Structure 1
């Protein structure tokens, strides 16, 4: 019998915990994908709350299992709610995930995102352009899309993780996750994810659900973040096999998250450290 990969086993344990505990995930997220994000969380086994008014955002963040802050839809009122939620999460120890949508491409949200770093996100998840921009470089983003390969932003992600004291995940064909020192790669996912809006936003929410159930433990946020991305990417692989195009893929993805079982997870999750660089010959 082949050995069970410990990353895959941990991913299954996390998924089982989500299904058993139904953690409350508080999302201040992109208006374009609110419904999809809520359905993804429900299919996973979590309990979504999409509260975005400043009168309640902080109160809910203090008692939620985790919080998602997604900059996809910005306004002064939503910014106030984001700040209230992240301040409350920081004070109460609630893990929270920052999704810096289009940071670098647009100045207002870039300023907001850098201000939110003061409230100590647990995880930052973005594409290569967003992460490079948030780290202080020129990400060269095209709206919400990245023009860079994730590999180009790895060094910036490590710097950002060190300066912000958090885990940084760069998602793309291969996801790279770092805590500033260690680095993991997730090789799950499918090209069809680029044809449906809200895939990155949904991945962020899945990460938050995983953080919520490991909150009480002495958690390794790096591994937990990788597990969330791997579970989402694995579901995307199953959804692509069962769909005819982008519309059916979106529906199939929700079903695939709901139906992920132990055998699929243990054999399908692909989380690895990066390959070692080849040794250079001695001069």
Structure 2
């Protein structure tokens, strides 16, 4: 841990100076190794994890979501983490983490450099991977709703509209979104509940309402994976609603995302059972 703290101090200042306009919570290794001129281009891939704080998600589902993210991320990728909630005091949409992982040197460029610089770079890249996993993991866990904290409202449409606009403006060529939510809107815009129960919605009618209220967004062509859809109950229950209710819920969100320049790749209800690709 001391070495990771040293890495952060050693790398943060030169990296921030070089990338002043871009937030990066991951210290860069190439400035640290004085090899900035040899730094490879990013992979062009970006993973965006979006966590709905209003959902009391059981630990096994939280762990499964984390494992999906970790299996996807590779060196050179950009990773962002958003938390959203209802628009209440201390509960609102936040960018919890934003970072860019470095890619290792390969081929002729690597072979042209001295062993001392390469050893310093390789050691830093190993520390960077551990630093990312720890830092991102802390923010990931903290973004879930805390036991005993009930948030009755859920501003999914409004939050996704803002987050989608940010995703669309990002330079990544390949954008993947892991959306961790029950996908049950409950706000002044509309509610998927009636008499304290989940409604069996009409997907086409709900999409019309969303369009009339200008709540669509632009996800920049992202591929979206949902984890936690239809979930009810906290750690004591992993119950979810009937197959018909979930089919209608998935149909609505598939149409919403298509109209918002995105593709729904998988709809975990509640558990996402395919890997991010």
Place the TM-score, normalised by the shorter chain, in its bin. 0.3 to 0.5
Higher strand share: 2
- Greater C-alpha Rg: 2
> TM-score if structure 2 supplies the norm length?
0.33
Higher helix share: 1
